């Protein structure tokens, strides 16, 4: 694929997956609506069809639960060969759930950031006014219903909530999860994607077991915080939320709304973030396992996410770049790998170049990381990430993830957020600046 045709093909992929109301992440592997996928997709759609981008956001928010939660999978369409099917979650008829069939989990709250980007480019007060209260309710839910320790940092109750579903980050926490009385189920995720690019059987059983526990607790937030064996505060999720709180605050100002609540969240997160996540010995951020009150000592590329949120000091940012981003044993290209940025540091025990979230490159992580690097003035590094992202797509098409060694595509095909973010990267970035 040449760079000239990239934008055209990206639009074609978004159209191919368009159901009219929402966009499937990919035609076969993910045939329903996913939360943060839809947010990135809206950003891509906004480049050539703003009204359709607004519909994408509206349809996602129409599945919001009464308590504020915005679910991670929404099932507006009928049957598919995807597992888990809608009824598996047992979310129907809960007093605090929504009217649309959905999972009982949430996903990284990037949506307010995307809505702000859309609004800044083409101000649309009517649309922004309509979605703002729903975004506010979701953020409020995250800072309160998922706050286990008074820090206001939300806890995740399932690896799927992190978006990094199968990362080695979760290995130790999942080791303590023993599947018992597993409900009958049949994996479907290896029908359209090779088994060695998907999670291993024992991990998948734990994912299903955690869903089973969640549904037995009726997805009631206090019960989940009290009883789910997997309870984690995640650097990527909390960074995305902090950035989204900033963006929600900017939208509030545009709309003439109060900002007190957001001011408090922003101040609170800033006050606790380093104490909770920063590892000064290694010069990076660590997730936190709330169940055992211990940092999670795994180096995944989410360590760069606080740059996206402006949460790092200049000195912390400089260490992240010098010791990790530019380090060929971790994230920089070396004799064995040619592309940035593996999802897990190459010298991690759990690194695996093609397996789901264990090492492959993801375009949405690259976008978040490039934005963060740019925010701190690391323009050449940001451009290098963008250049590699576009090169991967040119070489291997719009895939779900990519092998950092040779750039070959893995996972689902015709993958929408790769297409959406290619449009964004093409429009935004100067890809010609050389690495410094």
Strand partners, 34: 73
344 SS3 class:
strand
- Minimal distance, residue 161 CB to ligand DGY, in Å: 9
CA atoms of 336 and 327, how far apart (whole Å): 13
Is 279 among the residues that bind ligand DGY (CB under 6 A)?
no
Task: Find the binding residues for ligand DGY in span 373-412 (CB under 6 A).
Answer: none
Site for ligand DGY in 316-375 (CB under 6 A): none
Integer angstrom CA distances of residue 5 from 43, 284, 397, 403:
19, 39, 11, 23
d(CA 135, CA 64) in angstroms, rounded, equals 10
Distance CA 361, CA 400 (A): 9
Cα 244 from Cα 110, distance rounded (Å): 6
The answer to whether 274 contacts ligand DGY (rule: CB under 6 A) is no
At closest approach, how far in Å is the CB of 401 from ligand DGY? 11
CB of 422 to ligand DGY, least distance (A): 21
Task: Given the residues 49, 130, 165, 220, select the one marked as catalytic.
Answer: 165
Q: Which two tokens stand for residue 159?
A: 């690896």
**Of residues 197, 287, 400, 403, which has the active-site annotation?**
400
Distance between start and end Cα atoms, the chain? 28
- Comparison of 183 and 377: residue with beta carbon closer to ligand DGY: 183
The reply to whether 37 sits near ligand DGY by the rule CB under 6 A is no
* Angstrom distance (rounded) from CA 301 to CA 365: 8
Distance CA 390, CA 3 (A): 8
Stated as kind and residue range, the H or E segment containing 242 is: helix 235-255
One residue of 49, 130, 165, 394 binding ligand DGY per CB under 6 A: 165
- How far apart are alpha carbons 166 and 400 in whole angstroms? 14
The residue from 18, 189, 234, 245 that contacts ligand DGY (CB under 6 A) is 189
Q: Which of 138, 160, 285, 367 is close enough to bind ligand DGY by CB under 6 A?
A: 160
Quote the least distance from Cβ 292 to ligand DGY, whole Å. 25
Tokens of 185: 């189920």
Residue 414 annotated as catalytic: no
CA 176 – CA 229 distance, rounded (Å): 7
Paired sense of beta strands 33-34 and 73-74, if any:
antiparallel
Residue 400 appears among annotated catalytic residues: yes
CB closer to ligand DGY out of 103 and 429: 103
Tell me the residue nearest to ligand DGY as measured from the CB: 160
Give least dist CB 165 to ligand DGY, A. 5
User: Judged by CB, which is closer to ligand DGY: 72, or 116?
Assistant: 72
Q: Write the binding mask 57 to 86 for ligand DGY: x where contact by CB under 6 A, - elsewhere.
A: ---------------x--------------
By CB under 6 A, tell whether 203 contacts ligand DGY: no
For residues 30 and 398, which CB has a smaller minimum distance to ligand DGY in the complex?
Answer: 30
Instruction: State which of positions 119-148 bind ligand DGY (CB under 6 A).
Output: none
Asked if residues 230 and 94 have their Cβ atoms less than 8 Å apart, the reply is no
Whole-angstrom distance, CA of residue 304 vs CA of residue 385: 12
Pick 171 or 318: Cβ nearer ligand DGY: 171
CB of residue 141 vs ligand DGY: minimum separation in angstroms?
Answer: 19
Of 282 and 352, CB closest to ligand DGY: 352
Closer Cβ to ligand DGY, 49 or 165, answer by number: 165
Which burial class, exposed, middle or buried, applies to 191 when counting CB atoms under 10 A from its CB (0-12, 13-18, 19+)?
A: exposed
Phi, psi of 285 (to 5 degrees): -95, 145
Count the residues of the shown chain that bind ligand DGY, applying the rule CB under 6 A: 4
Residues found near ligand DGY in the complex (CB under 6 A): 72, 160, 165, 189
Residues catalogued as catalytic: 165, 400
């Amino acid at each position: 694929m040449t760079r000239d045709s990239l934008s055209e093909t990206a639009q074609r992929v978004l159209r191919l997956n368009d159901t009219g109301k929402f966009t499937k992440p990919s035609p076969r592997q993910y045939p329903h609506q996913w939360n943060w996928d839809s947010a990135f997709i809206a950003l891509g759609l906004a480049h050539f069809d703003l009204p359709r981008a607004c519909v994408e956001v509206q349809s996602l928010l129409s599945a919001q639960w009464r308590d504020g939660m915005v679910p991670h999978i929404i099932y507006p369409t009928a049957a598919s060969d995807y597992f888990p099917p809608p009824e598996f979650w047992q979310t129907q008829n809960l007093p605090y759930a929504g009217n649309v069939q959905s999972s009982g989990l949430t996903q990284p709250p990037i949506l307010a950031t995307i809505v702000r980007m859309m609004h800044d480019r083409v101000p649309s007060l009517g649309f922004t006014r309509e979605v703002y209260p729903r975004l506010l309710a979701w953020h409020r839910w995250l800072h309160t219903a998922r706050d286990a320790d008074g820090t206001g940092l939300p806890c995740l109750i399932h690896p799927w909530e992190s978006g990094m579903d199968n990362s080695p980050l979760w290995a130790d926490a999942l080791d303590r999860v023993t599947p018992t009385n597993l409900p009958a189920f049949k994996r479907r995720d290896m029908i359209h994607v090779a088994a060695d690019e998907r999670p291993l059987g024992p991990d998948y059983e734990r994912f299903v077991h955690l869903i089973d526990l969640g549904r037995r607790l009726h997805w009631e937030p206090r019960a989940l915080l009290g009883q789910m064996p997997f309870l984690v505060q995640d650097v990527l999720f909390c960074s995305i939320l902090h950035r989204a709180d900033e963006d929600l605050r900017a939208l509030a100002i545009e709309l003439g709304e109060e900002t007190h609540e957001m001011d408090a969240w922003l101040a609170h997160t800033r006050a606790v973030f380093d104490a909770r996540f920063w590892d000064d010995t290694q010069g990076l951020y660590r997730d936190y396992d709330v169940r055992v009150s211990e940092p999670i000592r795994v180096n995944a590329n989410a360590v760069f996410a606080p740059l996206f949120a402006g949460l790092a000091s200049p000195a912390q940012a400089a260490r992240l770049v010098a010791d990790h981003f530019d380090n060929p044993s971790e994230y920089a290209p070396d004799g064995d790998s040619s592309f940035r940025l593996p999802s897990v540091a190459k010298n991690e025990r759990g690194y695996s170049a093609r397996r789901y979230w264990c090492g492959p490159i993801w375009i949405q992580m690259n976008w978040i990381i490039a934005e963060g690097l740019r925010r701190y003035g690391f323009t050449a590094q940001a451009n290098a990430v963008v250049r590699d992202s576009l090169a991967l797509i040119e070489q291997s098409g719009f895939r779900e993830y990519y092998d950092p060694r040779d750039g070959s595509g893995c996972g689902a095909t015709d993958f929408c957020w790769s297409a959406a973010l290619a449009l964004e990267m093409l429009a935004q970035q100067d890809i010609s600046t050389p690495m410094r």
